[in-house]
Amino acid sequence: MEGKRKISEKELAQILGEHRRWADSKEKGKRAHLNEADLGGASLTEANLRAADLRKVDLSYAELRKADLSYAELRRANLTSADLSDADLRSASLINADLSGADLSGACLDDANLSGWIIKDIICTHIMQRDQRIDFAPGEFEKKYTWLESVAEVVLDLPLSDVTYYAGQMMAAVVGRRLGAASGGIVLRSMQAQSNDSTRLEFLVFQKELFDLIRQAMEQIQEALREQSQDLKALLAPLEAEPEAIGLRQSMPIPFTPYEWRPRDVEEILNRRHAQMSQPLQRLAEIIDSAARKILP
């Protein structure tokens, strides 16, 4: 394709090998930078492209079955008619990506950014969501996941942190479950610090007819969390004081070596942190569920 970077099969194999070592190791290999590359029709079944840079890449008609594309940057990628069945797209950025005619059956889209994606005539019999299978009738996935400019916002009296992220995910899951929108009618899109002690959360609503109910439920949850904010802050204080706490800091050490993001390191920290959050998360779940029931019995 004109304007795209041509990559030979041999070069691609070398890039994938280096990337696999980078993704699996803390010291070896090199992250794949395939932005604006022409990979149309490429055979990438079960390829490890975790956290790869695939911006504006041409992957039309590519074989990506069971590929690991988690955390990949696929902004404005051409994935038309690609086979993405059973692919791992968790936390991938699919902003303005074109998946027209692609096969997404069995893929996992947990926490992926779907803003502005194009899914005309997409094939999707089911997806895996939080390890559960969600089935779709013909055309149902396209109808539910086509981008709509419906955004519900709430401000929580909690600092920007991993705990607040989990609270946002709980809110989406609880409200979605009570509305019967388990297939992804509402997803957490973004978090932004409003101050040292408050965070603004944005939720995408893919089913327009549910927007008003979802907004009311979110506002009810926001108020319930605000009423319990002092107790929650006391409960969360020990977690926020730990060295591995993820959130805002008053100062940050400046490294004198080139910075490189390693998703495996971040994932290990998150897993350790999550294991320590049992009591705070249980309390958050109780508050969120109780508040949601007042609007969505």
Supply the CATH number for residue 97's domain.
Answer: 2.160.20.80
Helices (H), the chain: 9-24, 140-145, 162-179, 211-227, 229-240, 263-275, 278-295
At 265 the pLDDT is 55
Burial classification of residue 269, based on how many CB atoms lie within 10 Å of its CB (0-12 exposed, 13-18 middle, 19 or more buried): middle
Question: Does 63 share its domain with 185?
Answer: no
At 213 the pLDDT is 87
Are 93 and 74 within 8 A, CB to CB?
yes
Residue after which a domain boundary falls, among 128, 147, 166? 147
Question: Does 161 share its domain with 185?
Answer: yes
Question: Does 174 share its domain with 199?
Answer: yes
Mean pLDDT of each 10-residue bin along the chain, 297 residues long: 78 95 83 94 96 96 98 96 97 92 96 87 94 93 76 87 88 88 70 87 82 90 91 79 56 44 55 69 91 90
Concatenated DSSP letters of 135-147? E--TTHHHHHHS-
Beta-strand pair 186-195/151-156:
unpaired
Residue after which a domain boundary falls, among 147, 172, 188? 147
Domain count of the chain? 2
Residue 39's domain comprises 1-147
* CA atoms of 287 and 281, how far apart (whole Å): 10
What's the residue count for the chain?
Answer: 297
At 204 the pLDDT is 83
* CA atoms of 292 and 177, how far apart (whole Å): 10
Question: Does 165 share its domain with 240?
Answer: yes
* CA atoms of 41 and 63, how far apart (whole Å): 7
How many beta carbons lie within 10 A of that of residue 250, not counting itself? 5
Q: Which of 122, 139, 142, 132 is nearest to 173 (CA)?
A: 132
Question: Does 160 share its domain with 266?
Answer: yes
At 261 the pLDDT is 46
Question: Does 124 share its domain with 158?
Answer: no
Question: Does 248 share its domain with 188?
Answer: yes
Tokens at residue 90, please? Answer: 């968790």
Tokens at residue 166, please? Answer: 């989990």
Question: Does 136 share its domain with 222?
Answer: no
Query: Torsions phi, psi of 98, nearest 5?
Result: -105, 110
Concatenated DSSP letters of 25-73? -SSSS---B-TTEE-TT-B-TT-B-TT-B-TT-B-TT-B-TT-B-TT-B
* CA atoms of 99 and 91, how far apart (whole Å): 17
Question: Does 128 share its domain with 217?
Answer: no
At 218 the pLDDT is 93
Question: Does 185 share its domain with 106?
Answer: no
Residue after which a domain boundary falls, among 96, 130, 147? 147
CA dist 85 to 65, 88, 206, 244, Å?
A: 5, 9, 22, 36
Question: Does 90 share its domain with 194?
Answer: no
Question: Does 115 share its domain with 155?
Answer: no
